[in-house]
Amino acid sequence: MSWEIVIGLETHAQLSTASKMFSGASTAFGAPPNTQAGAVDIALPGVLPVANKGAVERAIRFGLAVGATINRRSVFARKNYFYPDLPKGYQISQFELPIVQGGEISIVTKEGEKKIRLTRAHLEEDAGKSLHEDFQGMSGIDLNRAGVPLLEIVSEPDMRSAEEAVAYAKTLHSLVRWIGICDGNMQEGSFRCDANVSVRRPGGPLGTRTETKNVNSFRFLERAIEFEIRRQIEILEGGGKIVQETRLYDPDRDETRSMRTKEDAQDYRYFPDPDLLPLEVTEEWIERVRKELPELPQARRKYYEEQLMLFPQDAVALTSSLEVSQYFDAALSKLREIPGIPYGSQKPDVANAKHVANWVINDISSYLNRNNISITQCPISPLQLAQLLARIFDKTLSSKTAKEVFDAMWIPFAQKDWPNPARGQRQQLSDIPPNLLTSTLSPNTVDEIIAKRGLKQLSDAGAIEKIVDDVLARNAKQVEDYRAGKDKAFNSLVGQVMKATQGKANPAQVNEILKRKLAR
């Protein structure tokens, strides 16, 4: 019998404020242990928490971005549990009345587009961190992270595969970075996912779920969910029962393992925090935040698909971050301004979009990943990419020689002045200083590299025809094989022509001339 997979994610996004949720202590990453734990964070007697206005505003921004309800009145509660890295003995969170309720995230997978409903998003403080290394068999506690502001985003159990869960996590990760509420740094723990997984017979009641905690990479999230699905199905088909519990994913063994039994809400004995007044959000505040929101990635994806005729997966890749989208838009804009490109009946942006997208998604992304840098540090400016594509379109370069020019332009150094918005700041293409879109950061322009390396494509039909004649005269056996129906012989002849021209001949012309002469 078949099984249906049911997945919901709880995601902790660290909000991009300079100070903590209820104190003025710094949130900067990487400080020596316990140097950023303020009196409020460690619950010294007599201290009182004060809610961080910037964190509240970021929660509002998220709620508006996902089409949720912003509760005009929400309440902070104490979530009681005892753990070494929680000095208060309770965590300040939100329970019955969160700041954000509802909303949805639209994801794209191989199966198409799907909307994932959100249950809520609530504000809370982070706990400290237990350290288990270099302590001679003991554990240490670092309270720098205690009190760091988090937005916990809870989805409905609408996902039915690990692929959907990863697509949701990536889309959410892109969104929180796009609207400037979280830097999304998974290595530093700024974006962490808890995966709630259960299996059931199709149409049956929900099964017992397990929660795999604090998964901080998309690859590990997919593998943890897939392992948990297999584990639960094996237990159920063997006649056993699933235990509701919290589990951890071990990437070295590629497995989840039990951490502790899973608590229910009543086990935490939530009650309103007596030291914090209810949080009141005015209509004026909400409207001000709404006006400051940038165009959202879903709207940008829709534009790319409907106006530029890009495939959905390409549109998703180009909206993986605001900076990637800005780079693509800038390159497309610069290519449109270069004269002499034939468009026929197509609009310039529609004709160019697929070509620009291919280079951004494939070549540039590959080089960025290889050098472990972001698009904001790309040494090839949008203008240079546009110039390179223009030389392919006017047949100055072949696809092969264009790659050589691209390699020559690539200088793996951090580009300090390309737009890099500060935390929480909105930045549109119009905000980018014009000199950054036109400056040449590589030592040579596209045309200079072409001239210096002698890469200009040979498109003189007469010159190509002479070389073809010479190749045919020297390869009578392959000519005979081709005319006898052996198609591979044709590819060999094309290769020899290209070799004779050092790869500079226009491949389309070579093919056309060869076929015409071989048909005689």
* pLDDT (average), residues 57-82: 96
pLDDT score of 444: 64
Q: Is the pLDDT of residue 472 over 90?
A: no
Q: How far apart are CA 128 and CA 475, in angstroms?
A: 75
Average pLDDT over the chain reads 87
Question: Could you report the per-residue pLDDT of 7-24, keeping only the tens digit for each?
Answer: 999 999 999 999 999 999
Contact 146, 127 (CB under 8 A): yes
Q: Is 144 helix (H, G, I), strand (E, B) or coil?
A: coil
pLDDT score of 149: 98
Indicate if the alpha-carbon torsion angle 497, 501, 507, 511 is positive or negative: negative
Q: Which residues pair with 279 in a beta bridge?
A: 74
What b-and-e string marks burial along 462-493, b requiring 16 or more CB atoms within 10 Å of the CB? eebbebbeebbeebeebbebbeeeeeebbeeb
Contacts of 415 (CB under 8 A, 6+ apart): 376, 377, 378, 379, 441
| Nearest C-alpha neighbor of 7 from the set 200, 180, 181 | 200
The Cβ of residue 338 has, within 10 Å, a number of other Cβ atoms equal to 17
**Residue 274, Cα to own-chain centre: how many angstroms?**
40
197: left (phi over 0), alpha (psi -120 to 50) or beta: beta
CATH code given to domain 461-518: 1.10.10.410
DSSP letters of 357-391?
Answer: HHIIIIIIHHHHHHHT--GGG-SS-HHHHHHHHHH
371 against 515, higher pLDDT: 371
Least confident stretch, 104-113, 263-272, 363-372, 429-438 = 429-438
Question: Could you report the per-residue pLDDT of 380-410, keeping only the tens digit for each?
Answer: 999 999 999 998 888 888 888 899 889 888 8
Contact 78, 92 (CB under 8 A): yes
What's this model's pTM, rounded to 2 decimal places? Answer: 0.82
Which residue ranges does the chain devote to CATH 1.10.10.410?
Answer: 461-518
Q: Is the pLDDT of residue 443 over 90?
A: no
Q: How far apart are CA 153 and CA 98, in angstroms?
A: 11
Contacts of 501 (CB under 8 A, 6+ apart): 458, 464, 467
Q: Is the pLDDT of residue 70 over 80?
A: yes
pLDDT score of 132: 77
Report the side by side order of strands in the sheet with 90-94. 90-94, 76-80, 271-272
Place of tokens 């290519």: 335
* pLDDT (average), residues 169-198: 96
Sequence letter at residue 38:
G
pLDDT score of 78: 95
Contacts of 49 (CB under 8 A, 6+ apart): 21, 22, 23, 40, 92, 273, 275, 276
Long-range contacts of 256-264 (CB under 8 A, 24+ apart): 256/210, 256/212, 256/224, 256/227, 256/228, 256/231, 259/213, 262/209, 262/210, 262/211, 263/81
200 against 133, higher pLDDT: 200
Indicate if the alpha-carbon torsion angle 50, 55, 61, 66 is positive or negative: negative
Q: How far apart are CA 92 and CA 375, in angstroms?
A: 37
What is the chain's length? 520
Q: Is the pLDDT of residue 421 over 60?
A: no
Proportion of the chain above pLDDT 70, given as a percent: 89
**Strand pairing class (210-215; 245-250):** parallel
Q: Is 67 helix (H, G, I), strand (E, B) or coil?
A: coil
Contact 128, 76 (CB under 8 A): no
324 against 455, higher pLDDT: 324
Q: How far apart are CA 506 and CA 392, in angstroms?
A: 11
